[in-house]
Amino acid sequence: MVKRVQVRASGRAERAGLKPNDIVLSVNGRSTSGLRDTDVIGLIQQSQRMLCLDVERSAAHDVAR
C-alpha cells in the first residue's frame, strides 16, 4: 500500500515541498508497498545524510490550490 502524506503547516514535510495527499512510493529506493505507516516513518527517520522520496502527485492537486 502506498502512503498518502499528511503535511503540517510550517512542518519539515511542507518545507521540503511535500503537499497534502502526495503519495510516497519509495524511501531511499525502498518501495513503500506493503509497509505500515510506522514502517515508512521509521525508514524516513533512519535516513542520516540524505533522504530520497519518490512521490506521486495528482495533477488535479496543483490546479485545486
What are the extents of the domains in the chain? Answer: 3-63
Per-residue model confidence as pLDDT tens for the chain (65 residues): 566 777 778 877 777 788 888 888 998 999 999 998 888 888 888 888 888 889 998 776 554 44
- How far is the C-alpha of 10 from the C-alpha of 1, rounded, in Å? 27
- Sequence-separated (6 or more) residues with CB below 8 Å from residue 36: none
In this structure, which amino acid lies at residue 13? A
In words, the CATH class of domain 3-63 is mainly beta
pTM: predicted TM-score of the whole model, two decimal places = 0.72
- How far is the C-alpha of 37 from the C-alpha of 35, rounded, in Å? 7
> Three cell numbers at 51?
533522504
Helix (H, G, I), strand (E, B) or coil at 8: coil
Q: What pLDDT, on the 0 to 100 scale, is given for residue 32? A: 92
